[in-house]
Each structure stands twice: as structure tokens, then as C-alpha cells.
């Protein structure tokens, strides 16, 4: 069976290398942040966002425990990313939904801030860069986020961005993701 999260990382690795700048727009438990820190190495830098202090604190402990110091953790909405990132990024990752393993399922990403963040992230992409957006349609807000993003991505110029959707066709509530690659 296809592992969508591993496939997600495969697309990032096609674009991101040592010394690059990347962003994890939904830090969560820090898995993607750690992956990005490892990929860009000591010469690169990773910005990571989350609105929940638990996410920031656990990610900081994870990264410092792993010996990383090439990151900036931001306790703020990803919609405000331009206040913190002042240079182009080679890769960005969104894992929408709620913080896994913390039981606070009422705190989820929301369509309004997600659209603002994704739009700003696309503007921050460097040449030959990638943005990945994982969607979790198993809850109502996730389903609506996916529909909204699909509609928005379909309006982007195919001459500037290649927007692809990857999903399991016979499992409508399984996570899926969008890959946006600059041309």
C-alpha cells in the first residue's frame, strides 16, 4: 500500500538540499520540522509555525534533543508567515487538521487562515521549489479545506505552478495531498 506521508517527503527531497531554506507551516509534533532540519543541514534553515504552545514546546525539545540548531519556531498562525520569513523558500509543508495525539480535536486548521497561509507560501516559493499540503477529510473542516484548496489551486497559472493532487480513489476519507511545484 502507498504511504502518502512517505510520498510527501519524496517530493520534498526532489527540491530541497543542504543549505536551503524551508518551512513547516503546521509544526504539530515536529516530525516534518525534524525532517526538514535534517535535509537542509547545518548550512540551511527551517521556519516552523503552530498556534499551540504544546506543539512549539514539544518540537523544541525534539529538535534540541536531536542536536539541531538550524530552526526558528514560531508560536503564531501560519497566516502571518510573511512577518517572520524574509527570503524565498525551496520547500514548504502543511499538514492540516489537528495536533495528533493530544486529544484537542476541536483545535483544527481553519479555511480562512489556511487559504491566507497557502497563498502567502506560494508567493514565498523560490524558483524550482515545492509546496506540499496534506489534507485530512475525515472531519468536516478538513473536508471543506480540501474542497476550498482544490478550487483555489485550479485557478493558478499552469505556466508558473504545476498543481497536482494525490489521493486514494477508493477511500474518500483517507488523507490526500497537493503538490505545487514552481516552474
Q: What pTM did the predictor assign?
A: 0.91
The alpha-carbon radius of gyration of the chain (Å, integer) is 15
**pLDDT tens-digit series, residues 27-85:** 988 999 999 999 999 999 999 999 888 889 999 999 999 999 999 999 999 999 999 99
Q: What pLDDT does 113 receive?
A: 79
β-pair type (71-75, 21-24): unpaired
CB atoms within 10 A of CB 139: 14
**pLDDT tens-digit series, residues 119-166:** 999 999 999 999 999 888 776 777 888 899 999 999 999 999 999 999
How far apart (Å, rounded) are the C-alpha atoms in residues 150 and 148? 6
Sorted by where each starts, the structural domains of the chain and their CATH numbers stand as 4-182 (3.40.50.150)
C-alpha cell at 38: 535534517
H/E element, 40 = helix 31-40
Of 37, 116, 124, the C-alpha closest to 78 is 116
DSSP 26: S
Would the pLDDT of 177 be above 70?
A: yes
pLDDT greater at residue 121 or residue 104 = 121
Amino acid at each position: 500500500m502507498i504511504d502518502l506521508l512517505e510520498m510527501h517527503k519524496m517530493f520534498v527531497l526532489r527540491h530541497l538540499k543542504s543549505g536551503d531554506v524551508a518551512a513547516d507551516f503546521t509544526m504539530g509534533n515536529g516530525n516534518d520540522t525534524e525532517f526538514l532540519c535534517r535535509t537542509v543541514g547545518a548550512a540551511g534553515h527551517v521556519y516552523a509555525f503552530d498556534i499551540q504552545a504544546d506543539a512549539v514546546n514539544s518540537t523544541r525539545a525534539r529538535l534540541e534533543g536531536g542536536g539541531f540548531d538550524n530552526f526558528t519556531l514560531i508560536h503564531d498562525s501560519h497566516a502571518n508567515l510573511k512577518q517572520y520569513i524574509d527570503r524565498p523558500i525551496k520547500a514548504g509543508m502543511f499538514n492540516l487538521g489537528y495536533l495528533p495525539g493530544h486529544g484537542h480535536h476541536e483545535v483544527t486548521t481553519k479555511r480562512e487562515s489556511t487559504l491566507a497561509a497557502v497563498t502567502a507560501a506560494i508567493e514565498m516559493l523560490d524558483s524550482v521549489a515545492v509546496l506540499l499540503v496534506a489534507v485530512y477529510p475525515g472531519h468536516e473542516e478538513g473536508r471543506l479545506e480540501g474542497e476550498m484548496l482544490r478550487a483555489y489551486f485550479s485557478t493558478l497559472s499552469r505556466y508558473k505552478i504545476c498543481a497536482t493532487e494525490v489521493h486514494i480513489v477508493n477511500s474518500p476519507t483517507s488523507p490526500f495531498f497537493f503538490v505545487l511545484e514552481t516552474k
